[in-house]
Amino acid sequence: MKFNVNYYQSDVACKYCKKTYKTYKARPVRCKIIGEDTDFMPIYEGLNPLLYEVAVCPHCGYAYHKSMTRTYGPFLLMIEELYINELKTSFDLCGERTIDDAIMSYKLAYLVARSAMEEALLMGNFALKIAWLYRLKDDTKHELHYLQAARDFYSKAFASNRDGEERIKYLHAEISLRIGDIDEARKEFSRIMSDRNMSNKYRKYARNRWEDYKYTLAPKVKEGEVNEVSI
């Protein structure tokens, strides 16, 4: 392709069919982060690289994300049986993508990962990113569905490094708040704030997030009533 200021073409060797194809990637210099949501969704000005994180083979439909680990040997046999053989259509997601294209790419990666029985942490991350994409569309119904799925996976996940474990605990509380499970959110934020083994960073995140909820988002109570969200 001719030079494009927003994208470049990346050569990808498909893990499944072994064919090589070219797919768009966002140029990092064109992706400017201007903020971050409370569940760590980066907010970009202009081009969003999240739309191009998953590579989808136009030959066989195999979807790949760099965080996947079960991409060889017996796992490919499972992917063939449970994913490749079940595909009813082909996909060409190698060019410029819409949000809907990005959602499709992540759903395909989600199905590949599920077929290969990837770890719960990876599945949770995929579900969370699909929720982010629906948030960009202002599609609250589907966002909440995938947030619920992400929380379920994070409940099963175990991180081998300290920062990862703390991140999961915080996300479990944050997502609980977002999906309206206030009792669970209150319990988990309280645990994080009172746990002296947690880093100051995540204890501060939890305190700020819960206080923000209590004072700006929680239902207002009338005089004489008890605010049930207090901790």
Please, what is the average pLDDT of the chain?
A: 89
Reply yes or no on whether the pLDDT at 130 is more than 90: yes
Q: Which residue has the higher pLDDT, 224 or 11?
A: 11
pLDDT in tens, 136-169: 999 999 999 999 999 999 998 866 555 578 899 9
pLDDT band of residue 46 (cuts 50, 70, 90) is confident
pLDDT band of residue 224 (cuts 50, 70, 90) is very low
* pTM of the model as a whole: 0.89
Tokens of 210: 């819960």
pLDDT (average), residues 195-219: 87
pLDDT band of residue 97 (cuts 50, 70, 90) is very high
The whole-number pLDDT of residue 136 equals: 96
The whole-number pLDDT of residue 88 equals: 80
The whole-number pLDDT of residue 17 equals: 94
C-alpha 104, offset from chain centre:
14
Reply yes or no on whether the pLDDT at 222 is more than 70: no
Q: What percent of the chain has pLDDT over 90?
A: 77
The whole-number pLDDT of residue 165 equals: 87
pLDDT (average), residues 68-90: 92
The whole-number pLDDT of residue 218 equals: 65
Contacts of 13 (CB under 8 A, 6+ apart): 19, 20
